[in-house]
Amino acid sequence: MNEEPTGGCALPQQGLPAERVLDEIHLLRAQDRPTHGGQLFAYVYDPAVPGLDELAATAYAASAHVNGLDPTAFPSLLAMENALVGAAAELLGGGPGSTAPEVVGSVTSGGTESLILAVKAARDAHPEISTPRLVVPASGHAAFAKAAHYLRVGLDVVPVDPGTLRPDPAATAAAIGPETVLVACSAPSYAHGVIDPVGEIAAAAAAAGVRCHVDACFGGWTLPYLRRLGVPVPPFDFAVPGVTSISVDLHKYAYAPKGVSVLLHRDPALRAPQYFAYADWPGYTMINPTIASTRSGGPIAAAYATLRHLGDDGYLRLAAATRDAVAGLADAVRRVPGLRLMAEPESTVVCFTATDPELDLFVLVDELTARGWHTQPQLSYAGLPASVHLTVTAAVATRVGEFGPALAEAAKAVRAAGPVVLPEQLRTLAGTLTPDALTPELVGGLAAGLGLGGSAAAPPDRMAVVNTLLDAAAPALRERLLVEFVGLLQRPHW
Ligand SMILES: Cc1ncc(COP(=O)(O)O)c(C=O)c1O
């Protein structure tokens, strides 16, 4: 077996000393994008608070082997879960003295699981509906589509206005039918950071007697603080009549390590169908509020420690730093001719597109990467142009001044290089190929030509050609191509 520190094979003939193993992990980690330092605008949420990582890691270790499967066996975990749910409920318009005093919830592994469970609860509340359906804006997170797919719930997608990037409430109301079990909206949407018209959508859902879920996975922990800082945040939480459930991810803007989200319901009756219970076997009766049964206490304890340490005043301070960073980044974008903000920032996303074909966005992303700034390209979709997404966290605040010059310099380099021109054959292929016509040989050839897969453990730094190819393809072909490409990466390298 391979004993090189390459991640080749995890099981050596003989066990290795702890120090050596940690060295291996640090070597592997050195290949990653930087999780700290305020230059990575997706995937990570960094408050840049000294000592917080160490605190969370210690708390994680203290509870890593505790099992959330049985809250009676591990009351420590039950207490911490209830405390997290209580904090989220109070922040989002529920709890004592509010109009939603009976809010309850569950701690899940992340936003996707929270959304799947919101859809499951809505579906299972209506066993009489044989073909349940979910109404969701086109800007809703892809996890709603995943929930619909896993749970065999039909998906009714309401388009978003290309100007406001929001769904029309009247169109949303019109999409609600007798089989609709849930209407969803976002506060804010991930892609563009805009807040949907929650009040009108929730009213339409309530009028039809249907549940309404607000996906605040991304923004649920910052919007209340931004509001306190004077930002005009429209009503989006349990203060809005008709909102029946809300999701908020603690591993995003609550700055907890990965693996923690909270799904809240307005009352216990709404939550009841979320549980899975099974007593019809000879083992223990299984009662699960979440998809996983055995659950590590690590992420929950780490989140608990993070909230206790940062406190309400800490989150307010971090939200102020983030608000200032957003303003600075948006100004930097406005100063580059040929770039346009997709929307005026109203939360913690800065998203921009190009108005000048010479300013190829995918090349711009690569040029920024080459300068140490890691942004997220978004492909064009249903009349919306390709764009660049920046998730802004508090750590960015100290780096904003450097971003403007880097962006201007990157844009200059893009203009000098010119846009990506796909070979005619590839462009035709992307425009005409149907997903089922993709053969392994074709994918292998494409991947090799694009520098993907093979024996390389990681994709290449320059992705503009790949992104241009994907952008030219319809969503179904994009999905299939990426499944194949990622499949090439996710293989053991013996
Ligand atoms: C609005 C929104 N909903 C859901 C999710 C899914 O969250 P996760 O990646 O934790 O599963 C995200 C992730 O970015 C999000 O932004």
Residues 87-140: tens digit of each pLDDT:
999 999 999 999 999 999 999 999 999 999 999 999 999 999 999 999 999 999
Mean pLDDT, residues 469-485 taken together: 94
Mean pLDDT, residues 338-344 taken together: 98
Residues 14-48: tens digit of each pLDDT:
999 999 999 999 999 999 999 999 999 999 999 99
Predicted structure pTM score: 0.97
Mean pLDDT, residues 211-222 taken together: 98
Tell me if 136 CB under 6 Å of ligand 1.
Answer: no
3-state secondary structure of 385: coil
Looking at residue 115, its pLDDT comes to 99
Place of tokens 């090799």: 448
Q: How far apart are the first and last CA of the chain?
A: 8
User: Is-contact 256 154, C-beta < 8 A?
Assistant: no
Looking at residue 288, its pLDDT comes to 98
Looking at residue 2, its pLDDT comes to 45
Report how far ligand 1's centroid is from the alpha carbon of 9 (Å).
31
Residues 231-245: tens digit of each pLDDT:
999 999 999 999 999
Q: In terms of Cα–Cα distance, which of 219, 285, 227 is closest to 254?
A: 219
Tell me if 140 CB under 6 Å of ligand 1.
Answer: no
pLDDT at 209 over 80: yes
Place of tokens 């708390």: 59
485 Cβ contact list (under 8 Å, min separation 6): 443, 447, 452, 453, 466
pLDDT above 90 covers a percentage of the chain that reads: 89
Looking at residue 442, its pLDDT comes to 85
Whether the upstream peptide bond of residue 188 has omega within 30° of 0, thus cis, is yes
Tell me if 443 CB under 6 Å of ligand 1.
Answer: no
Average pLDDT for the chain: 95
Mean pLDDT, residues 402-422 taken together: 97
In ligand 1, which atom is closest to the CA atom of 111? Answer: 7
To the nearest 10 degrees (0 to 180), the angle between helices 400-417 and 361-370 is 130
Top mutation candidate among 41, 190, 252, 392 for ligand 1, by most atoms within 8 Å of CB: 190
Confidence of residue 80 (pLDDT cuts 50, 70, 90): very high
CA distance 350 to 325: 10
Tell me if 196 CB under 6 Å of ligand 1.
Answer: no
User: Is-contact 371 40, C-beta < 8 A?
Assistant: no
Report how far ligand 1's centroid is from the alpha carbon of 218 (Å).
6
DSSP H helices, 15-93, are 18-29, 52-63, 75-91
Top mutation candidate among 40, 194, 218 for ligand 1, by most atoms within 8 Å of CB: 218
Looking at residue 180, its pLDDT comes to 99
Residues 262-312: tens digit of each pLDDT:
999 999 999 999 999 999 999 999 999 999 999 999 999 999 999 999 999
394-405 burial code (b ≥16 CB/10 A, e <16): bbbbebbeebbe
Looking at residue 454, its pLDDT comes to 56
